[in-house]
Structure 1
Amino acid sequence: MKANFLATLILAKGIAGHAIPRHSSCKPAAPATGKAVYFLSNDAENSIVALPIQPDGTLKAGKRNPVNGVGSNVIDGATKEPAAPDALVSQSSLVISGKTVFAINAQSGSVTPMTISDDDPTNLLFRSGGASYIQKPFPNTIAASAKNNVLCVATTATQAGVSCAGFHDGNIDPFRSVLSFDLGQSNPPVGPTNTVSQVLFSDDESMLITIVKGDPMANKTGFISTLPVSEIDSECPHDTRTSPEGTAVLFGSQIIPGTSTLFATDASFGAAVLDIDAATGGASIVGKQALDDQKATCWAAYSETTKSVFVTDVAVPRIVEMSAKDASIISQIDLSHTGDAGFIDLAAAGNFLYVLSPGTEATGAAVIVLDIAGGQGKAKFLQRFNVEGLAGKNAQGMAILQ
């Protein structure tokens, strides 16, 4: 450390003691916290709930921003009733690009873009173009590529597939059908199996990736669809579909930055790290890990601070930290003391992890905050912020303004 400091001092002042002009090539330090947390109420009056993040990472009272759209629920295959929690059986039901939040309206079949106010990140403003309709029922997951100015939405009912549109300054062009998936679904769809899980872009934004769950009980195989972004506007887009060996109900996924790998949960066993071949679009297993006592491990969030992935289970009150390289278990955070039955969507920002809880009749919905500044295996419970009155068990999605 002393040698490095001395070398810096010599460079800065020069051997003769004179200053030497120089420019730093260092990147600015990543912020320790985000600015606000966003998720969907997914109710009949669908809204984006926005909670401000304080300097210590904790949350405080925010706002419910109606989006002029209607949320919805899949039908639970076991109970034949509207599913809740996990009403949309997906990850990424809203996404941020620049100063715009794009929100899914499952019942309306539309996407609402809203601008984040410069003065208050919890105050969202309608775009002049308003909601954009997809022309297919039950959209449940969305991805945005700022590099390509492309917005893609997956639908998972009678016309399952992916539709995409250009977006400029937050306004959305008309959607165009890009891919179709023959799932044989109803409207609303029956889940959670045999539905689309997530749509997302590769790290370099050159490839569109869609995760589709299988249904082992019906002998239906899930798959990963990959499509070059260059083909989105073609007359006949051709994707590659792979069913990685040992996977069955692939769900929430995270691109590992700077790599060609994808971390994916699988509700049938735990989670896996997959490599996406840039040339062929095929996906192969790098490593996989079963989780003991899991009920349905479905959501994942990568943290740049810990260089690891955190996963949640809707029916187990814990968060499992896993390796981004091979999915091995790093730590398990027991949160049973919060009174929550389990957790769904989550996202990391700086030194903190934010986790959506659908709550119980006794506790109500909430966002759990973990301090992860200590690095791998050092996550600590920080706060349980109750959002009762803003959202309930239908709530879904998680995005953070950095």
Structure 2
Amino acid sequence: MKFTSTFATAIVLSAMLASAAPVRRQTPTLSSSFTTGAIYFLSNEPSGNNIITATIGSNGMLTVSNVVATIGNGDHGLTGGELGPDPLFSQGVISVSPMAGLLATANPGSNSISLFSIDPTDPSTLTAVGPPIASGGEFPVSVAFNSDGTALCTLNGGAMDGVQCYNVNATSGLSVMAGTRRFLNMGQTTPPSGPFGTASQIVWSQDQTQVYAAVKGNPGSGPAGYIAAWNMTDSGLSDQFVNVTLPAGAGAPFSLTPIPGQNAMFSADAAIGVDVFDFANGPESVAASPRTQSYNISGSMAPCWSAYSPMTGDYYVSDLLTSILTEVSLDANNNLRPSMVMQYPILQNVATLDLEVATVGSQDFLYLLMPNVTAVEVLQLNGPGNATSIQQMDIAGPAASLSLPVNPNFLVGMASYVKPQTRA
């Protein structure tokens, strides 16, 4: 089992090793490149949370562009020792609705959610929409828009845990959606102690009728992990969630990435590698489905974040401790059975966290946050099993020029927006 009691210690060791790791010189964006979109991630500082934006050029490369205050505070979960990377033990702290042109983010240190509009002509420019709103709990770690950006849900991971959903108004901001405050009763602290037994990610089902939240287990010494599934109705979320048990071998579902056209979810699982959850016949039938399964990623230690590429049709999993990006395919003709396509070493002894795939024209690019070397790795996805590193964008230097000191152990999150006319 990969997800062991030494995991938190290993995170700290990873941070120490990375401090001496070589960092490649930033490849400049080509002068002929024009802005087609932007990526977003968080400084997450307890003294003040900021969104760092970087423009995406037509060649997929990045340039740090802007710093936007969330009017809230960041925070770091407790690891039982020195703080290292992966401050929130989660995925999805930033969410973008391309249809609505909106961005939402959580402020774990001030228990609030902030909403911004995205300038479609310059997506690195964000404008606050209404004031931040209370998250309905403590230490919010993940947010998710519905398909058209008219509703948003957040996942709280602290002592007051659970889910809260909001109506979204592009002019006035967020308002609490009645009947959507629901609890997980994980028995956590604020900040939570992790990464064991913590909240992971919240998402909507593809048909928008359900909301799912992943919770990591505490293998060997505590409760098992699970997926909490609520029905979304006109009167709000169902009073109780369905506890979706994990497949054999699974233990720490860290992410929830929708599998297109399948009413199923792909999850990076730190206990084994990846999980597949089949919701086709409802949450109560997930565990019994032959398509619900786990898969061991050979050589992995802490596979935690996942993203899907529509161009390659494959899934990409980043590993906090091995610095290896793993490409996984699902066989649609064989119960969505996972198999490894390729593994891509990034930088030795460098923590790799949140990742995002953006489609620019007819090309997919993958953006991978490497906090303890304060950089974003850019890979061009040329086809299945064929990813090429084209840039390593420095964060600290450009952020300092924008008067934002960066603490590597607090950097987190990754989301993107691409101008509509440049999408394939």
Query: TM-score category by the smaller chain?
Result: 0.7 to 0.9
Distance 1:367 1:340, change over 3 A: farther
Match of 2:414 in 1: 398
The code of the aligned residue for 2:376 comes to V
Match of 1:17 in 2: none
Whether the 8 Å CA contact 1:231–1:237 is kept in 2: the answer is no
Q: Secondary structure at the match of 2:256?
A: strand
Match of 1:9 in 2: none
How many angstroms apart in 1 are the aligned matches of 2:174 and 2:166?
A: 7
Is residue 84 of structure 2 the alignment partner of residue 89 of structure 1?
A: no
Q: Secondary structure at the match of 2:308?
A: strand
How many angstroms apart in 1 are the aligned matches of 2:315 and 2:222?
A: 30
* Cα RMSD after superposing both structures: 1.9
Q: CA deviation at 1:271?
A: 0.6
The code of the aligned residue for 1:347 comes to E
Is residue 170 of structure 2 the alignment partner of residue 169 of structure 1?
A: yes
Q: Secondary structure at the match of 1:35?
A: strand
How many angstroms apart in 1 are the aligned matches of 2:235 and 2:95?
A: 20
Match of 1:322 in 2: 328
Match of 1:370 in 2: 379
How many angstroms apart in 2 are the aligned matches of 1:340 and 1:280?
A: 39
How many angstroms apart in 2 are the aligned matches of 1:114 and 1:328?
A: 39
Q: Which runs of 5+ in 2 are unaligned?
A: 1-34, 331-335, 400-405, 419-424
Whether the 8 Å CA contact 2:145–2:152 is kept in 1: the answer is yes
Seq. identity, %: 27
Q: Secondary structure at the match of 2:220?
A: helix
Q: CA deviation at 1:175?
A: 5.7
Q: CA deviation at 1:232?
A: 6.0
Q: Give the TM-score normalised by structure 1.
A: 0.85
Larger Rg: 1
Shift >6 Å, 4+ stretches: none
How many angstroms apart in 1 are the aligned matches of 2:174 and 2:76?
A: 25
Whether the 8 Å CA contact 1:207–1:228 is kept in 2: the answer is yes
Q: Give the TM-score normalised by structure 2.
A: 0.80
Match of 2:367 in 1: 354
Match of 1:382 in 2: 390
Match of 1:239 in 2: 241
Deviates more, 1:297-306 or 1:167-176: 167-176
Aligned runs of 1:180-191 on 2, under 5 Å? 180-191=183-194
How many angstroms apart in 1 are the aligned matches of 2:383 and 2:262?
A: 21
What are the superposed Cα offsets for residues 336-379 of structure 1, whole Å, 9 maximum, x if unpaired?
A: 3xx561310001012211111112xxxx311111010x211011
How many angstroms apart in 1 are the aligned matches of 2:202 and 2:285?
A: 16
The code of the aligned residue for 2:181 comes to V
Whether the 8 Å CA contact 2:244–2:283 is kept in 1: the answer is no
Is residue 154 of structure 2 the alignment partner of residue 153 of structure 1?
A: yes
Whether the 8 Å CA contact 1:241–1:282 is kept in 2: the answer is no
Whether the 8 Å CA contact 2:117–2:170 is kept in 1: the answer is no
Whether the 8 Å CA contact 1:225–1:240 is kept in 2: the answer is yes
The code of the aligned residue for 1:35 comes to G
What are the superposed Cα offsets for residues 291-332 of structure 1, whole Å, 9 maximum, x if unpaired?
A: 233221100001101101000011112100001332210100
What are the superposed Cα offsets for residues 259-286 of structure 1, whole Å, 9 maximum, x if unpaired?
A: 1111111101111222113434542362
What are the superposed Cα offsets for residues 6-44 of structure 1, whole Å, 9 maximum, x if unpaired?
A: xxxxxxxxxxxxxxxxxxxxxxxxxxx961111111112
Q: Which runs of 5+ in 1 are unaligned?
A: 1-32
How many angstroms apart in 2 are the aligned matches of 1:393 and 1:340?
A: 15
Match of 1:341 in 2: 350
How many angstroms apart in 2 are the aligned matches of 1:282 and 1:164?
A: 25
The code of the aligned residue for 2:370 comes to S
Whether the 8 Å CA contact 1:231–1:238 is kept in 2: the answer is no
Distance 1:378 1:41, change over 3 A: same
Distance 1:280 1:95, change over 3 A: closer
Among residues 296, 307, 312, which one is paired with 2:313 in the alignment? 307
What are the superposed Cα offsets for residues 112-162 of structure 1, whole Å, 9 maximum, x if unpaired?
A: 1111123321111122x2111124110001111144722111111111111
Q: How many residues align?
A: 358
Deviates more, 1:49-58 or 1:163-172: 163-172
Q: Secondary structure at the match of 1:69?
A: coil
The code of the aligned residue for 1:272 comes to D
